[in-house]
């Protein structure tokens, strides 16, 4: 059993991200350790655990310390594997990817924001990593909100936005087809239920428009808000190594993936944490 004094916290950037050292996630954690890790998570938004040689059971057990877990939908995991985990991979068997989101870069987003209750957080574990690329950039949405001009803060605080799960149309055309895609309306600025802090809550990959304003105004406002969301000043870019477990708070961060060589294998396992309705 890992005792609380075992681990240390090493911030990666001024904005967000901290490496947690001296903890072996194959071992169960005691309650004090879990409580201290949760504080570190709320303070740093993204926690990185390097050199972890963990199996699927270890990953799920660790995730369960922080909330109810969310795995793969049955149609997402047809390889007979453990549905408590979702695979993110470009590896193909019989021509079909064994995981989701197989190829290339991915625009900034927070996970499952197209649902009424988007994930609270998620944990991604690296099994196979290409020799270059595929880095994940994490952006701090508290900082993005805090840096907004007051007039823009006031405007966004009163608005709700529609978020759509339609990667394909969005990546191809920059628009969405809401008629055939899951979508949900959320506040453009949300309040974190644990810290009480406000976070900008619109993203390039899934936010289609603000509710109740003219389309041209909505487009202009969204583009302005996104430029703040993606400001490099509050981004930590994670360069993956095999054995990394990265855990992010999905309520106050966004993430994006850089491109990587399609001919090289990339395999990560994700466990989600159930969230609540943003307010």
Judged by the rule CB under 5 A, the positions of this chain that interact with Fe ion are 111
Q: Is 172 helix (H, G, I), strand (E, B) or coil?
A: helix
Query: CA angle, 35 as apex, 237 and 5 as ends, to 5°?
Result: 85
End-to-end CA distance of the chain: 37
Distance (Å, rounded) from C-alpha 224 to C-alpha 216?
A: 12
- What is the nearest approach in angstroms of Fe ion to the Cβ of residue 111? 4
Of 115 and 147, CB closest to Fe ion? 115
Of 2 and 199, CB closest to Fe ion? 199
Distance (Å, rounded) from C-alpha 79 to C-alpha 96?
A: 11
Q: Can you tell me which residue has the tokens 């990666």?
A: 12
Of 137 and 242, CB closest to Fe ion? 137
Of 234 and 255, CB closest to Fe ion? 255
- What is the nearest approach in angstroms of Fe ion to the Cβ of residue 262? 19
Angle between helical axes of 150-157 and 215-229 (0-180°, round to 10)? 120
- What is the nearest approach in angstroms of Fe ion to the Cβ of residue 200? 17
- What is the nearest approach in angstroms of Fe ion to the Cβ of residue 2? 28
DSSP 8-state assignment for residue 91: -
Both tokens of residue 96?
């079909």
Distance (Å, rounded) from C-alpha 39 to C-alpha 56?
A: 25
- Of all residues in the shown chain, the one whose CB is closest to Fe ion is 111
- What is the nearest approach in angstroms of Fe ion to the Cβ of residue 179? 24
CB atoms within 10 A of CB 61: 18
- What is the nearest approach in angstroms of Fe ion to the Cβ of residue 110? 7
255: left (phi over 0), alpha (psi -120 to 50) or beta: beta
Of 66 and 165, CB closest to Fe ion? 165
Of 111 and 244, CB closest to Fe ion? 111
**66-79: burial string, b at 16+ Cβ within 10 Å, e else:** bbebbbbeeeebee
Dihedrals phi, psi of 222, to nearest 5 degrees = -65, -45
Of 111 and 249, CB closest to Fe ion? 111
Q: Can you tell me which residue has the tokens 């996630």?
A: 25
- What is the nearest approach in angstroms of Fe ion to the Cβ of residue 167? 11
């Amino acid at each position: 059993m890992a005792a609380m004094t075992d681990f240390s916290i090493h911030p990666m950037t001024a904005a967000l991200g901290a490496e947690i050292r001296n903890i072996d996630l194959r071992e169960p954690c005691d309650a004090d350790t879990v409580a201290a890790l949760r504080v570190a998570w709320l303070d740093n938004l993204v926690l990185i655990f390097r050199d972890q040689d963990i199996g699927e059971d270890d990953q799920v057990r660790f995730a369960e310390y922080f909330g109810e877990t969310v795995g793969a939908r049955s149609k997402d995991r047809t390889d007979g594997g453990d549905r408590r985990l979702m695979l993110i991979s470009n590896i193909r068997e019989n021509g079909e990817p064994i995981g989701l989101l197989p190829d290339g870069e991915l625009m900034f987003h927070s996970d499952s924001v197209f649902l009424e209750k988007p994930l609270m957080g998620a944990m991604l574990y690296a099994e196979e990593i290409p020799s270059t690329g595929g880095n994940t950039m994490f952006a701090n949405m508290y900082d993005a909100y805090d840096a907004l001009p007051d007039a823009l803060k006031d405007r966004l605080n009163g608005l709700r936005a529609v978020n759509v799960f339609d990667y394909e149309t969005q990546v191809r055309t920059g628009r969405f087809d809401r008629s055939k895609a899951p979508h949900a309306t959320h506040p453009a600025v949300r309040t974190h239920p644990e810290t009480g802090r406000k976070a900008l809550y619109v993203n390039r990959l899934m936010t289609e428009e603000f509710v109740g304003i003219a389309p041209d105004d909505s487009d202009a406002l969204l583009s302005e808000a996104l430029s703040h969301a993606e400001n490099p000043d509050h981004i930590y870019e994670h360069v993956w190594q095999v054995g990394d477990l990265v855990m992010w708070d999905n309520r106050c961060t966004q993430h994006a993936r850089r491109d990587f060589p399609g001919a090289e294998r990339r395999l990560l396992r994700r466990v989600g944490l159930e969230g609540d309705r943003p307010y």
